[in-house]
Structure 1
Amino acid sequence: MTTHKIATLPGDGIGNEVVPVAMDVVNRLGEMHGFTMEWEIQDWGCERYVREGSMMPSDALDQIASSDAIFLGAVGAPGVPDHVSLWGMLIPIRRRFDQYVNLRPAKILRGIPSPLKDDRAQNFDMVVIRENVEGEYSAIGGRLYSGSDNELAIQENVFTRRGVTRVMAYAFELAQKRGNHLTSATKSNGIIHTMPFWDEIFDEMSARHADVTVDQYHIDALVAMFVLDPSRFDVVVASNLFGDILTDLSAAMAGSIGIAPSANINPERIHPSMFEPVHGSAPDIAGKGIANPIGQVWSAVLMLEHLGHPVAAKHLMHSMEEVIASEVRTPDIGGTATTHEVAEALMAQIDADLSQFTSQGRG
């Protein structure tokens, strides 16, 4: 039986409520499909920052470097500035482990009402590939003359040929496995250096993948097209900032940011990859027992796929969709169920669906 060591970081707020749900369902699937998880839980996050002055220990990344994957809940809390929590934990993990692909699927699941009220909601099934370790999220820059009339702030964007090429290569390969259609997000009419550079590399990569249909849109037009005609998109590749914005939009179009998953991937598997929901720590509902665990569970689907358990991943995705369609849903997606009730329904559905997946083998 395969055993995976999972660095488990529930983090803050509702992360501590939804991570245990996902752990339980993955454990049940492991019993059925022949693997086990060693969940190595760490209390890193904003509570630790308030208590000890840092989001995680100085040797934290060394502690989890040998893990098979990292499973993260949420980061952020009132009283701790967002840039402190983000740069104190999430971004160091992504960069130390070279998780340069951020993969965020979005589709409308049966039973979840979408704000797209007409046929635009049909065939809405896309994946955004976001460059995850450089681009606009750079630490290069600074501030001068604080508090004076001459105060200024400078923020540098960093785009490297290696960084742009490798994330686009991943996006092209994914497009070949899906609908052979790749869209690039740009803004080369207004951002004079980095975005023309991005476009040039996209053109080079397109010439190497003649079987893939490509197009590109300026980011302002692209966000409009996401809403007006989302079915035209399959795989979208974007820089760090543009990808971040597009994926929150696509999650909202699918009905709730509470269901959206993501994977921070090191494709070469030299380092562990990290799996987390897109939603934040939601301090306004933390502790009320109504947090939506679906984003965390869907992130577990992505983790199972990455760890080499495709049948278990399909099993979990199917069971998750069946529970949502049965109207066992939390308030954020139009239901009245508690987190616990969704968890119970997931467990029952996983058991009920087992026979559909035993013929596909274990894994």
Structure 2
Amino acid sequence: MTTVAVIPGDGIGPEVVGPALDVLDALGLGVRTDVLDHVNARTYLRTGAAMTGDDLDRVRRSGATLLGAVGDPRLSGTGYVRGVLTTLRAELDVYVNYRPARLWHDRLSPLRDPARRAVDCVIVRENTEGLYSGIGGGSRAGTPHEIAIDVDLNTRRGVSRVLEFAFSVARRSVCLVDKANAVRNGGRLWQRCWSEAVARYPHVEASHLYVDTAAMRLATDPAAFDVIVTSNSYGDILSDLAAALAGGIGMAASANLNPATGQGLFEPVHGSAPDIAGTGTANPLGAILSVALLAEHLGRAEEADAVRRAVAAAVAAGRVTADLGGSLSTGEAGGAVLAELGQPAGRARTRRRNHRLGEDG
């Protein structure tokens, strides 16, 4: 039996993971869950450890991992968040960040022109290198002569493998986004690897845009894109822009993947949102759509499509949370998706009671 590791995390993480787990259960995939509800900011504040070696072993042994969110306003530095997210991405070597963006209903688009609203693209982001690699340092802190250095790390292996993945998932086209005219060394490496990848996929339309031009094009005509492939930091920014054009960050799902090893980490991208934590208003659809990506990862494409159809039906009916124009609570919005799947909504309460999501283990 496949095990899915679950890290509810902080803030609204446990609140959205509850409905997401209930949807996972409703799919009947025959998986068991291993809930690591002690991996959170409370534990970090008490022990100083974000994740232990045993935690990582449990994640490695699983067939996939579902993450809610990490982050806590009581922590001013980035040590805890990097200790969870960066550690998981590095230790699992999930080098692809796969972020689909789809407009689920016309009323959710901020664009005035209906002909340009049909967002249905994927941002493929390099996930383990770039400016987020953690290489750098500083000196003379707090003085007028302070120096801070962050290194934009790019390797031929890292760039080549993410480009290869982008072409492998393209339906019609791939657009490389970089800033090779200004960031010359990394830019030249990306351009060389890009030329080699384009030659291997002559049947896929290939194009290139600088990141500033790509951002403008994405904001004005997102329907023009199929797959965008780019670096870690550019992908972080462009994927949030794409999410806003597709109905909001509350619906944005993501997968962190290593196609070679089969490791997969799935998470909504909205963060821990401490300002609304505990209010029952968080949108669970990003977490539920992350479960669809997880099901797809486990080879259950039909079930993944069923989840997406259920989400689309709930959105079309207006059975959603306030950020999407509805009036439902987090649990009720999850229940609306379950209803579209033909499942009773009460199972979410049972699962949360059984697993004590978000409480210290």
TM-score, normalisation: structure 1: 0.91
**1:343 corresponding residue in structure 2:** 334
Structure 1 stretches of 5 or more lacking a match?
A: 353-363
Instruction: Please say if 1:240 is aligned against 2:232.
Output: yes
Q: Which amino acid aligns with 1:145?
A: R
Instruction: Please say if 1:287 is aligned against 2:278.
Output: yes
**2:205 corresponding residue in structure 1:** 213
**1:328 corresponding residue in structure 2:** 319
Tell me by how many angstroms 1:121 deviates.
4.1
**1:81 corresponding residue in structure 2:** 76
Secondary structure, in 3 states, of the residue corresponding to 1:35? coil
Equivalent pair of 2:36/2:55 in contact (CA under 8 Å): no
**TM-superposition CA deviations, 1:124-153 (whole Å, max 9, x none):** 200010000111212221111222222211
**1:151 corresponding residue in structure 2:** 146
**1:202 corresponding residue in structure 2:** 194
Cα distance, 1:94–1:345 mapped onto 2, change above 3 Å: same
Structure 2 stretches of 5 or more lacking a match?
A: 344-361
Tell me by how many angstroms 1:38 deviates.
2.6
**TM-superposition CA deviations, 1:165-198 (whole Å, max 9, x none):** 00000001111xx12x000011011112111211
Cα distance between partner residues in 1 of 2:261 and 2:251: 26
Cα distance between partner residues in 1 of 2:190 and 2:145: 33
The CA RMSD measured in Å over matched residues stands at: 1.4
Cα distance between partner residues in 2 of 1:339 and 1:252: 20
**1:255 corresponding residue in structure 2:** 247
Cα distance between partner residues in 2 of 1:250 and 1:85: 27
TM-score, normalisation: structure 2: 0.92
Equivalent pair of 1:144/1:153 in contact (CA under 8 Å): yes
Residue in structure 2 matching 1:98, options 93, 97, 100:
93
Tell me by how many angstroms 1:120 deviates.
4.6
Equivalent pair of 2:95/2:256 in contact (CA under 8 Å): yes
Cα distance, 1:228–1:82 mapped onto 2, change above 3 Å: farther
Cα distance between partner residues in 2 of 1:20 and 1:39: 14
**1:277 corresponding residue in structure 2:** 268
Tell me by how many angstroms 1:207 deviates.
1.3
Instruction: Please say if 1:117 is aligned against 2:112.
Output: yes
Secondary structure, in 3 states, of the residue corresponding to 1:55? coil
**1:17 corresponding residue in structure 2:** 15
Cα distance between partner residues in 1 of 2:274 and 2:291: 23
**1:56 corresponding residue in structure 2:** 51
Q: Which amino acid aligns with 1:263?
A: A
Equivalent pair of 2:109/2:117 in contact (CA under 8 Å): no
Tell me by how many angstroms 1:239 deviates.
0.3
